[in-house]
């Protein structure tokens, strides 16, 4: 195929980068809360662990709702319409959260943003996977994860720079001093408001990209699909792609998802893999490091301004790590990288726990945390979405991926909401050792059940798995 087809690389990159803006916005919205946390908590007088957990995790309720919407609507309405809707919700959330005057409205608009996050993180990689050439699909889907990490880094840089504006704020500012300061009243508002610009850009640009060719064929819009595929790889590529897609889609009820098919034994097998991987990505614990980085570095002995800078360093490592995935995912495959990530993270959690157990804070903690974030960022973080976009049959791919995405958000919410209480009960050391144990379990299960999908078209993967 590679010798017969000349792909329109510019066109593929343009539509992939536009869709990946959804990933960028997810990354920003996902992480901005961590840098804003030291400032909005004094403003709203948030002092108990349950309220702290709710403020940090309320957006994840919206994420679960967004993923649920995708289960029922992504195969009915298509990928494009829902991504446009998510762009609108991101824009609304950015302004609403920034203007919130009560903790209730703050969480309301965070949930609106979470709804957008749930749709975007689900459909952006799926959309890219359904349009990318098979031999480059892993790389292009990973581009979405790169944009997630760039969004993470930008949120951390914005948070850090805004935190530096208030020159009168002392490094050892108390809760009461923070509440009365410019930072406590306004800094966190600007952190959320900054998201409006890329959110509105995503909303506008999504009107100009095509719908997924596979979704168009599934809905009897073959001519439109052919035009999209011609732009990607020419007439020959369009012809063979249309034929492959048709072979894998039933001739009846093309536009409808038969949810009974989700109970098919073969589909259930891969649905289990997707759900397990989604929970593993969350319960591996790195999101605690991202959401509660300020608390972790404070416990390690850092001041507020030092904490904000350390958080930026974490984001930089996350971005750089994704380039490792881009260079290796289509060479070494998905499974090998996931096994490397889970085993390395398990070992690092042992050492992170030991540093807290023996009260060895400072630079050692930073190095171990950065190493842990690095392994997560080029394995579990991007490869969950690569695997999910590949392993499910075409006809129910949107619904099945949405179920796995819902599991992802349930895992994220339970981890984030419960962390302050669990940390108070177990202590820092035991908390990190618990995440290490989860990574060990993840390594064993993935070693036994995860198939390899690199280098195969989505249709070839479906045929291969249907014979299992």
CA-CA distances (angstroms) from residue 416 to 78, 249, 279, 284?
A: 31, 39, 13, 12
Is 241 a residue whose pLDDT tops 60?
Answer: yes
- Residue 2 has a pLDDT of 45
Can you tell me whether residue 303 is helix, strand or coil? Answer: coil
Burial state string for 317-335 with b = 16 or more CB within 10 A and e = fewer than 16:
bbbebbebbbebbbeebbb
Q: In this structure, are residues 137 and 214 in contact, taking their beta carbons and an 8 Å threshold?
A: no
**Vertex 136: Cα angle to 134 and 137 (nearest 5):** 65
- Residue 30 has a pLDDT of 83
* Residues 94-104, mean pLDDT to the nearest whole number: 96
Round the average pLDDT of the chain to a whole number and report it: 85
Most confident of 149-163, 237-251, 323-337, 429-443: 429-443
What tokens does 162 get? 């805004």
- Residue 257 has a pLDDT of 54
Q: In this structure, are residues 58 and 97 in contact, taking their beta carbons and an 8 Å threshold?
A: no
What tokens does 344 get? 């390395």
Q: Tens of pLDDT along 380-397?
A: 988 887 888 777 876 677
- Residue 360 has a pLDDT of 79
- Residue 251 has a pLDDT of 44
Is 375 a residue whose pLDDT tops 50?
Answer: yes
Please report which confidence band the pLDDT of residue 459 belongs to, taking 50, 70 and 90 as the band edges: low
Q: Tens of pLDDT along 105-156?
A: 999 999 999 999 989 988 898 888 888 887 777 788 778 878 988 998 899 8
Q: How far is CA 309 from the centre of its chain?
A: 23
What tokens does 448 get? 């036994």
């Amino acid at each position: 195929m590679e010798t017969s087809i000349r792909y329109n690389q510019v066109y593929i990159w343009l539509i992939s980068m536009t869709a990946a803006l959804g990933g960028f916005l997810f990354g920003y919205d996902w992480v901005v809360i961590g840098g804003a946390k030291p400032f909005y908590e004094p403003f709203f007088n948030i002092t108990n662990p349950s309220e702290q957990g709710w403020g940090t995790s309320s957006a994840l309720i919206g994420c679960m709702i967004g993923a649920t919407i995708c289960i029922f609507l992504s195969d009915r309405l298509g990928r494009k319409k829902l991504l446009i809707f998510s762009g609108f919700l991101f824009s609304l959330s950015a302004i609403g959260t920034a203007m919130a005057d009560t903790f209730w409205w703050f969480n309301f608009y965070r949930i609106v943003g979470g709804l957008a996050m749930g749709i975007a993180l689900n459909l952006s990689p799926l959309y890219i996977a359904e349009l990318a050439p098979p031999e480059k699909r892993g790389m292009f889907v990973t581009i979405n994860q790169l944009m997630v990490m760039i969004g993470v880094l930008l949120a951390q840089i914005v948070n850090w720079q805004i935190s530096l504006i208030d020159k009168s704020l002392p490094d050892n500012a108390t809760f009461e001093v923070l509440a009365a300061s410019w930072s406590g009243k306004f800094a966190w508002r600007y952190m959320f408001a900054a998201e409006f610009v890329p959110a509105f850009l995503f909303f506008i640009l999504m009107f100009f990209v095509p719908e997924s060719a596979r979704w168009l064929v599934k809905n009897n819009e073959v001519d439109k699909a052919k035009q999209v595929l011609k732009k990607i790889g020419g007439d020959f590529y369009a012809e063979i792609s249309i034929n492959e897609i048709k072979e894998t889609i039933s001739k009846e009820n093309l536009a409808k998802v038969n949810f009974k098919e989700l109970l098919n034994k073969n589909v259930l097998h891969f649905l289990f893999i997707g759900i397990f991987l989604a929970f593993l990505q969350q319960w591996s614990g790195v999101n605690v490091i991202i959401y509660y980085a300020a608390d972790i570095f404070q416990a390690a002995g850092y001041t507020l301004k030092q904490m904000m800078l350390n958080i930026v360093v974490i984001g930089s490592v996350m971005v750089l790590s994704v380039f490792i995935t881009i260079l290796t995912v289509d060479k070494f495959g998905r499974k090998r990288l996931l096994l490397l990530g889970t085993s390395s993270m398990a070992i690092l959690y042992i050492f992170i726990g030991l540093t807290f157990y023996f009260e060895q804070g400072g630079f050692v903690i930073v190095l171990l945390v950065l190493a842990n974030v690095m392994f997560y960022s080029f394995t579990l973080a991007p490869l969950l979405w690569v695997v999910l976009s590949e392993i499910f049959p075409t006809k129910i791919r949107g619904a099945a991926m949405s179920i796995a995405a819902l599991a992802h958000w349930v895992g994220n919410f339970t981890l984030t909401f419960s962390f302050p209480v669990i940390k108070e009960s177990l202590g820092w050391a035991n908390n990190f050792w618990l995440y290490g144990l989860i990574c060990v379990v993840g390594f064993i299960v993935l070693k036994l059940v995860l198939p390899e999908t690199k280098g195969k078209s989505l249709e070839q993967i479906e045929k291969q798995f249907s014979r299992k």
